[in-house]
Structure 1
Amino acid sequence: MEKWYVATKKADFDRWAAEFHISPVVARVLRNRDLTEEAEVEKFLYGTLEDSYSPWLLKDMDRAVEELCRAVEAGTFIRVIGDYDVDGICSSYILTRAIQLLGGKVDTAIPHRIHDGYGLNDHLIEVAGQDGVGLIVTCDNGIAAASQIALANSMGIRVIVTDHHEVPFVQEESGRKEILPPALAVIDPKQERCGYPFPGICGGVVAYKMAAALAERTHSRALGEAMEELLEFAALSTVCDVMELKGENRILVKEGLKRLRHSRNQGIRALMEVNGIEPERLSAYHLGFVIGPCLNATGRLDTARRALELLQSRSKAEAMSAAGELKELNDSRKNLTLKGLEQAERYIGEHHMEQDKVMVIFLPEVHESLAGIIAGRVKERYNHPVFILTRGEEGVKGSGRSVEGYHMYEAMTETAHYFTKFGGHAMAAGLSMKEEDIGALRRELNEKCALQPEDFIPKVHIDVPMPLDYADERIAEELELLEPFGVGNPRPLFAQKELIFRGGYKMGANKTCARYRVTTPGGAEKQLVFFGDLEAFGNFLEEKYGAGAVEALYSGRGNFPVSVAYQLGKNIYRGRAELQYIMQHYI
């Protein structure tokens, strides 16, 4: 069951259409992206890197740059410590490369997911001390590592934190009190005292901003020229860390994609080649669902250092070999994920979780690195907050994925007594805990959850009710101005009532998608493509129009009125572009 909502936000659409040379339909879509002022529309459609914000607006950036420059000049051994996901890998690459180009003595440490866990730990600090490291720069982690940074300080190792995660806090009578780590500088736009205008950036962008500040301060020609390449990794981080593609993020991804299509980075080029991606057609989709998962697979099933080494490849042969291995790892990860999903479905049934507001699922045999992916898939199916817990080397580890209206990190803060370690933000989180506390955690999370039954009904947000007869090539071309699409800027969704489904046939190697012949209320015949669940659509038709409806449809004898929500785009096949209507939802 779904609830369809048609956006009703107001604006002078005709004026916007005239000013920006777009149709009123596209003007409505822009308003639905929460744009209200014409300056915002201008920036959304035509914003450039000049519209992005100065790195110096980030709190402590001046102090961090000063300390880094001093360390480079003194020949101090610097270690960049990142994380094992795409954002952590890319931000590590950005900072390490920036410091190298300044002539710094630097190396990189990526925590091992199984042995180290997320972010800084005592072991990493101790190893740094043994290696003679004088300065640690964290990226995509560190904001919650107060005790580890205190340990580093006691060993004479200075620390600069660059992160983007939520700042730990304690609730006092006067309100929240942030717990900041005792570092030389803490760069995190989520800090209360940070006045950065767009706090929704990822770790890779924070690292990119630091590189930009270093280039500006040092006037380094080498680093200045490298900023084009480093932008590619900031864009990749933003998409893969599921940041909203609004404001500055939208500009960075749009400009980063332009550069990625002509990337000179051997690792990126190799990943595109082994996955059959034509560089000129590279999109945010490919970053999030093809390239990103290949980089992520190393941190899940092996060590993320392999992904970093791929990005640092010097030759095509070296890069192609590494990229092939990453693709194989990702294929293996897909198979393990499917098995984990089957186990999750069994667990939900056996533990009668259909009535739980928050699903806490314990899968002891599942590889802990797959917990987040499986949590995301279960969340998509049930539209409930989900925690997937697995048995790690030291107790239980897990990942959570949330839904609109449920701030996962705050909910976990209220039940912090169950966790030995946790972190995250509104929509996702990671944790460690004792196995014997799983049942109690499930009870308390559900008792404290304020979500109501209507919050679990999936919401379908329709931008404009638009007849297929009106959805022409001109509008499809204008919609390309709104790319890149992703979280915060979804591909526009249109709707039409009572399309008559006449016939259809299944497509693809495994016959998992279909093309339908439909008639509009105006009498025009159109082709509608569907990449969704064919079995579910067939069940819908049989329930609504009786047994035999599916057979009738696929034999060309259909006469079934169905209201659809669809996307409009262009499909390029064998060099020819054709208008494409893609069914997303139906009632």
Structure 2
Amino acid sequence: MEKRWQFGSPDEGLMEALSAQLHISPVLAQVLANRGIADVRAGDHFLHNTLADMADPFLMKGMENAVIRLEQAITEKQRIVIYGDYDVDGITSTSLVYSVLRDLGASPQFYIPERESEGYGLNEGALEQLSRQADLLITVDCGISSHDLVQQFSPVLDMIITDHHEPPEQIPPALAVLNPKQAGCPYPFKELAGAGVAYVLCRALWQHHCHEDLPGYTDLAALGTIADLVPLTGENRILVRHGLAAMKEGKRTGIKALLDASNLSGKDITAGRIAFTAAPRLNAAGRISHATKGVELLLETDAAKAAADAAELSRLNTERQDIEHTIAQEAITQIEGQARGRDGVLIAYHEGWHVGVIGIAASRLVETYYRPSLVITVRDGIGKGSCRSISGFNMYEALQYAQDLLIQFGGHTMAAGFSVRAENIEALRRRLLDYAAAHMTAADYVPLVHIDKQLEPADVTLDLIVELSRLEPYGMGNSRPVFSLSGATVEEIRPIGREKQHVRLVARGADRTRLSGVAWSQAGLCDAIVEGDVIDVAFQLERNDFNGMSSPQLVIQDVHLPGRHIVLNRAVMVDIYMALKKCIPDWGMPVWQVRRRLAADQGDCYDVHTIYAAIVVLREIGVLKIRHDDDGPAYYFPILAGKMDLHASPTYELYCKE
């Protein structure tokens, strides 16, 4: 998929000041400026802030009331219940508040609703039960949208709401509501995750109770913050940086077991590794089984028991991956079968899809089509949906635009959830398509790559990689920097990996500097690039350690081929199709062999890039298929039903000159 490149162009004077006064390279100075660092003081804070630089927790609206009530509950040995959510943010928030209250002498309990039967947030049945078991209820990562339920139960149950989701017009009439996004809250940092809000509450309580700042617990706050995909800037960055350091120390038994089960022991613990390996295991508890398992692991102090719990979460995560893969493939098949892959918004729905993984399936649709995507599972006439979006499409606003068709909804700009009657799903699709037509342009559906700076080949060094590590932890709002190189000549390109889904590329710069890179899950580059091509590369940088040697490695994000001249028309497509029919036997042929033979057979007639583009077109319209054999991917011709339309291929539309 062709991507647009957008180059950062910060103020030259600012970059010079950052470089000179912070004693950093011009490259790091430009990356900081691209991240909105407006002066030297802000740059110094970004690079050096500590927990002491976090705001006074009592600035958060409602904090004084919350702390006074908690102190009373601790002193009087009252019954406290923490009501959490079933995702990682909710699991870690629950564990954090539980741990702090326990360490202050309380004997708290916790309650997390079951995802499928109870759904997200407060529910009447749970509150009815808990009102007879508790004197004080603390919500974490939920509750801000539960005005009516809080009003109903507040006469019989004191409630403290802590949440970070967008507040509605009516704030629940709880004893205290902690949410930095609510109107009139002076707390300066608004982008805390649920675990971050819980940490601020615990920090205020500890200061009030112990007359010192909160010691530790940042590992739990960091785990929830990373998993919830909030911007890793400001206080989130502080919490995650300190939390990752705490995780490396391995003092919390449950987190150490989780990292061991995630094969992270002995490795550098980064936000990315937590997000892609450890967090999904915790998430699997709430998606496939019950989130209580995740809380129990994080609270466990016996190493053997924690190891067993972590192994169980790993098993659940594998099960979750299998279910998710099946649903994602069925959703893609549904969209392809309806020829909706180029719609402004994608909706796939089915009876009985597992509600715990539809959000991940929606993410897979975004990865495949780069379209806002909704995946809905239907049961008893009610559809529960999960949404993932792309830059420029506000999913929360889009659902507001269709709220008369929905039973309920909630979420953020990039991700949301909702429920809808099955008979309204098609009306929802039409409404969201109308919203997309009014708010999106064709360019918005082309992925954008933000380039921090163009480098020369000689700039790509291990020293630069070491310096750039000062930007960590990476995440939303502070992504790993992306650079570009121009005019590199490809010396080698080949697929790698068990299923040949990745690509190894070696190129030389104009100054003859040899550069090596890897492109993960971009096997299509082998359809577009041949050895000898001159390319522009967008990439991230990482250190590659192999056989006792260290070298810079490009992690390729995108490749542009300037001046490539591809012309497709019906005659070209017929020629390439007939050549393939002669080349590929009934049982198929390895992809690399087909490319090599066709380039040799048709090279006198067509440029190799035209040949490769024609093969892509035939794949896109279903004339040519790929299967994955033990020795790699292979092309074969399927049995076709009906006529194939060349204009259904995005590649053909791009290069067609009829």
Q: TM-score, normalised by structure 2?
A: 0.82
Instruction: Quote the Cα distance in structure 2 between the aligned partners of 1:188 and 1:126.
Output: 25
8 Å Cα contact 1:566/1:581 also seen in 2? yes
8 Å Cα contact 1:201/1:238 also seen in 2? yes
Instruction: Quote the Cα distance in structure 2 between the aligned partners of 1:562 and 1:324.
Output: 45
Matches within 5 A, 1:416-495: 416-449=403-436, 450-495=439-484
- Structure 1 residue 394: deviation in Å? 7.2
Q: 1:39 aligns with which of 41, 48, 72?
A: 41
- Structure 1 residue 184: deviation in Å? 0.7
Q: Which residue of 2 aligns with 1:219?
A: 210
Q: Which residue of 1 aligns with 2:182?
A: 191
Matches within 5 A, 1:87-166: 87-130=89-132, 132-154=133-155, 156-166=156-166
Q: SS at the partner of 1:441?
A: helix
Q: Which residue of 2 aligns with 1:562?
A: 535
Q: Which residue of 2 aligns with 1:585?
A: 558
Q: Which residue of 1 aligns with 2:590?
A: none
8 Å Cα contact 2:17/2:40 also seen in 1? no
Instruction: Quote the Cα distance in structure 2 between the aligned partners of 1:2 and 1:503.
Output: 23
8 Å Cα contact 2:503/2:522 also seen in 1? no
8 Å Cα contact 1:494/1:566 also seen in 2? yes
Instruction: Quote the Cα distance in structure 2 between the aligned partners of 1:346 and 1:512.
Output: 20
Q: SS at the partner of 2:357?
A: helix
8 Å Cα contact 1:114/1:393 also seen in 2? no
8 Å Cα contact 2:503/2:526 also seen in 1? no
1:392–1:577 distance in 2 versus 1, CA, 3 Å: farther
Instruction: Quote the Cα distance in structure 2 between the aligned partners of 1:532 and 1:304.
Output: 31
Q: 2:196 aligned with 1:205, yes or no? A: yes
Which runs of no fewer than 5 residues in structure 2 stay unpaired?
561-658
Deviations 1:240-293 (A, max 9, x none): 000111111111111111111113111111111122213451110111111100
Q: Which residue of 1 aligns with 2:252?
A: 265
- Structure 1 residue 199: deviation in Å? 0.4
Instruction: Quote the Cα distance in structure 2 between the aligned partners of 1:337 and 1:81.
Output: 28
Deviations 1:323-343 (A, max 9, x none): 111011111111111111111
Q: 2:355 aligned with 1:353, yes or no? A: no
Aligned length: 556
Instruction: Quote the Cα distance in structure 2 between the aligned partners of 1:181 and 1:9.
Output: 44
8 Å Cα contact 1:272/1:279 also seen in 2? no
- Structure 1 residue 530: deviation in Å? 2.3
Q: Which residue of 1 aligns with 2:504?
A: 515
Instruction: Quote the Cα distance in structure 1 between the aligned partners of 2:549 and 2:201.
Output: 44
Instruction: Quote the Cα distance in structure 2 between the aligned partners of 1:202 and 1:504.
Output: 42
8 Å Cα contact 1:2/1:458 also seen in 2? yes
8 Å Cα contact 2:503/2:525 also seen in 1? no
Q: SS at the partner of 1:380?
A: helix
The AA in structure 1 aligned to 2:149 is Q
Q: Which residue of 2 aligns with 1:171?
A: none
Instruction: Quote the Cα distance in structure 1 between the aligned partners of 2:249 and 2:289.
Output: 29
Q: Which residue of 2 aligns with 1:538?
A: 526
The AA in structure 1 aligned to 2:551 is E
Instruction: Quote the Cα distance in structure 2 between the aligned partners of 1:519 and 1:505.
Output: 16
8 Å Cα contact 1:262/1:279 also seen in 2? no
- Structure 1 residue 574: deviation in Å? 6.0
1:8–1:167 distance in 2 versus 1, CA, 3 Å: same
Instruction: Quote the Cα distance in structure 2 between the aligned partners of 1:208 and 1:576.
Output: 42
The AA in structure 2 aligned to 1:581 is L
Runs of 4+ in structure 1 off by over 6 angstroms are none
Q: SS at the partner of 2:109?
A: strand
Instruction: Quote the Cα distance in structure 1 between the aligned partners of 2:31 and 2:143.
Output: 39
Instruction: Quote the Cα distance in structure 1 between the aligned partners of 2:536 and 2:355.
Output: 42
- Structure 1 residue 315: deviation in Å? 0.8
- Structure 1 residue 576: deviation in Å? 4.8
1:380–1:506 distance in 2 versus 1, CA, 3 Å: closer
Instruction: Quote the Cα distance in structure 2 between the aligned partners of 1:565 and 1:514.
Output: 15
1:118–1:393 distance in 2 versus 1, CA, 3 Å: farther
Instruction: Quote the Cα distance in structure 1 between the aligned partners of 2:305 and 2:121.
Output: 29
Q: Which residue of 1 aligns with 2:167?
A: 167
Instruction: Quote the Cα distance in structure 2 between the aligned partners of 1:316 and 1:398.
Output: 38
Instruction: Quote the Cα distance in structure 1 between the aligned partners of 2:90 and 2:380.
Output: 23
8 Å Cα contact 1:86/1:240 also seen in 2? yes
1:446–1:513 distance in 2 versus 1, CA, 3 Å: closer
- Structure 1 residue 496: deviation in Å? 1.1
Q: Which residue of 2 aligns with 1:181?
A: 172
Instruction: Quote the Cα distance in structure 1 between the aligned partners of 2:231 and 2:154.
Output: 36
- Structure 1 residue 58: deviation in Å? 0.9
Query: Which deviates more from structure 2 when the two are superposed, residues 385-394 or residues 252-261?
Result: 385-394
Deviations 1:222-246 (A, max 9, x none): xx66x31x11111111110001111
1:393–1:138 distance in 2 versus 1, CA, 3 Å: farther
- Structure 1 residue 8: deviation in Å? 1.1
Q: Which residue of 2 aligns with 1:554?
A: none
Q: SS at the partner of 2:351?
A: coil
- Structure 1 residue 379: deviation in Å? 1.5
Q: 2:47 aligned with 1:58, yes or no? A: no
Q: Which residue of 2 aligns with 1:572?
A: 545
Instruction: Quote the Cα distance in structure 2 between the aligned partners of 1:214 and 1:280.
Output: 35
The AA in structure 2 aligned to 1:486 is G
Q: SS at the partner of 1:469?
A: helix
1:287–1:45 distance in 2 versus 1, CA, 3 Å: same
The AA in structure 2 aligned to 1:539 is D
Q: 1:409 aligns with which of 386, 391, 396?
A: 396
Query: Which deviates more from structure 2 when the two are superposed, residues 1-10 or residues 512-521?
Result: 512-521
- Structure 1 residue 103: deviation in Å? 2.0
Instruction: Quote the Cα distance in structure 2 between the aligned partners of 1:308 and 1:204.
Output: 13
1:152–1:248 distance in 2 versus 1, CA, 3 Å: same
8 Å Cα contact 2:454/2:485 also seen in 1? yes
Q: SS at the partner of 2:192?
A: coil
Instruction: Quote the Cα distance in structure 2 between the aligned partners of 1:410 and 1:83.
Output: 23
Query: Which deviates more from structure 2 when the two are superposed, residues 428-437 or residues 298-307?
Result: 428-437
Q: Give the percent of matched residue pairs that are identical in Structure 1 and Structure 2.
A: 33
Instruction: Quote the Cα distance in structure 2 between the aligned partners of 1:310 and 1:113.
Output: 19
Query: Between Structure 1 and Structure 2, whose CA radius of gyration is higher?
Result: 2
8 Å Cα contact 1:88/1:203 also seen in 2? yes
Q: TM-score, normalised by structure 1?
A: 0.91
Instruction: Quote the Cα distance in structure 2 between the aligned partners of 1:582 and 1:261.
Output: 25
- Structure 1 residue 119: deviation in Å? 0.8
Q: 2:262 aligned with 1:314, yes or no? A: no
1:109–1:341 distance in 2 versus 1, CA, 3 Å: same
Instruction: Quote the Cα distance in structure 2 between the aligned partners of 1:448 and 1:530.
Output: 35
8 Å Cα contact 1:341/1:378 also seen in 2? yes
Instruction: Quote the Cα distance in structure 2 between the aligned partners of 1:319 and 1:305.
Output: 14
Q: SS at the partner of 1:423?
A: strand
Q: SS at the partner of 2:344?
A: coil
Q: Which residue of 1 aligns with 2:580?
A: none
Higher relative contact order (CA 8 A, sep 6+): 1
Instruction: Quote the Cα distance in structure 2 between the aligned partners of 1:514 and 1:448.
Output: 38
The AA in structure 2 aligned to 1:467 is E
Query: Which deviates more from structure 2 when the two are superposed, residues 25-34 or residues 446-455?
Result: 446-455
